[in-house]
Amino acid sequence: MELAHKISQTLNFLLVSTRTKRFPDGEFYFKFEEEIAGENLVLVQSLYPPQDEHLLELFLMVHTAKDLGAKSITVFAPYLAYSRQDERYLNGEAISSLMVADVLKELGAGALYTVDIHNEKVLKGYKIPAFNLTASGELAKYFAMKDLRDPVVVAPDDEEAAIARVKNGADAINAGYDYFKKERDRHTGEIVTFEKKMNIKGRDVIIVDDIISTGKTTANAVKALKTQGARRVFVGVTHILPLGKALDLIKESGTDEVVGTDSTPSEVAKVSVAPIFSKALKGNMKVVPRLDKLAGVDADFGKVEEVKREIEKLRGEY
Ligand code: R5P
């Protein structure tokens, strides 16, 4: 997997080869191709759609790692599926985010890292250390290379997490920030973005958000910014999970470019979450130059040998 490979390069971790396949009846098969007993392992698996498949793959990886005697298991799930239902709103409902937390712990995961989680409250349900990182800085930096004029970073809604994200993005490129207020009709799903006068005339604007799903939130914000005279409007979103023609809707709203991260595969995944995870891991675990192992369920096997050679060189140096 590209992402696992990038992380292994940044952190100087060995990349473990893995083998995966589907049996004719659709069941998943997983195998570590190398010895992992006694190793500190990082498992990279993003839980984008089909979420159930990716989740079961992750469960199998964690279980196998534990079963084979890995010393520690850190899970990096950039997109953490099942993060919407963190409470029992109606009697009898499943609390799906808690199920994921409990199963990961039971299987042997020792820590979890994710990126721009939809609802940060979910992490309180984890009985292992669980961290939320943000890609907003990396997304803003991507657009900063476009010769921006007096840039402003804007959130399409005024939730606490959305404001924190744009503030972080703005700080990364030394820009200002602002945010809209939005409401979603609970019955029709229709999104209303309230008019708000912003100081953006003739300036370049970067919208930063966590998710694109129907695209309506982003499209509304782009239109409002263009109407108010923004020079260019760029959109940087961590998880692109487009439903139907979401990306077309956003393009038609007048945006100059939409960019996502490699948390989910998409035609606009141009920013990697590898640097932010690598930085977090270094900071929290003080691992450099410890040489640990890293596995991705769909590791890029072609590059494994190349990475191993680099690591061997590094071993010699330390
Ligand atoms: C809302 O709370 C999120 O931050 C996103 O703005 C929202 O999920 C985007 O959804 P959609 O693309 O369907 O408007």
- pLDDT (tens digit, 9 = 90+) per residue, 251-279? 999 999 999 999 999 999 999 999 999 99
Q: Within this chain, do residues 99 and 118 fall inside the same structural domain, yes or no?
A: yes
Is residue 305 pLDDT above 80, yes or no? no
Same domain, 76 and 116: yes
The answer on 48 and 8 residing in a single domain is: yes
State whether residue 131 is helix, strand or coil.
strand
Task: Looking at the structure, tell me whether residues 6 and 130 fall in a common domain.
Answer: yes
H helices of the chain, where? Answer: 2-11, 51-67, 96-107, 136-144, 160-172, 216-227, 246-252, 274-285, 304-317
From the number of C-beta atoms within 10 Å of its C-beta (0-12, 13-18, 19+), residue 97 rates as buried
Domains held by the chain: number: 2
Residue 83 belongs to what domain range? 2-134+273-317
Last residue of a domain, one of 271, 288, 303: 271
Look at ligand 1, atom 5, and give the residue with the nearest C-alpha: 211
Contact 149, 202 (CB under 8 A): yes
CA dist 280 and 293 (Å) reads 16
Evaluate if residue 297 carries a pLDDT over 60.
no
Q: How is residue 127 annotated by DSSP? A: S
> How far, in Å, are 103, 126, 160, 213, 308 from residue 43 at the CA level?
15, 17, 30, 26, 18
Q: Are 6 and 102 contained in the same domain?
A: yes
Alpha carbon distances (Å) from 275 to 39, 106, 206: 22, 29, 21
**Same domain, residue pair 220 and 305:** no
Largest distance between two CA atoms of the chain? 62
Contacting residues for 49 by C-beta, under 8 A, at least 6 apart: 81, 241
Q: Select from 210, 216, 264 the residue to mutate for testing ligand 1; criterion: most ligand atoms less than 8 Å from CB.
A: 210
pTM of the predicted model as reported, rounded to 2 decimal places: 0.88
Give Cα 287 distance to the centre of its chain.
Answer: 22
* 280 shares a domain with 169: no
Question: Which is catalytic among the residues 6, 182, 216, 226?
Answer: 182
Q: How confident is the model at residue 188 (pLDDT cuts 50, 70, 90)?
A: confident
- One-letter amino acid at 294 equals L
pLDDT, position 308: 44
Which residues does residue 91 pair with via DSSP β-bridges, in sequence order? Answer: none
Would you say 119 and 218 are in contact if contact means Cβ atoms under 8 Å apart?
no
Q: How far is the CA of 215 from the centre of ligand 1 (A)?
A: 7
User: Residue 184: which CATH number?
Assistant: 3.40.50.2020
Residues 215 and 96 in one domain: no
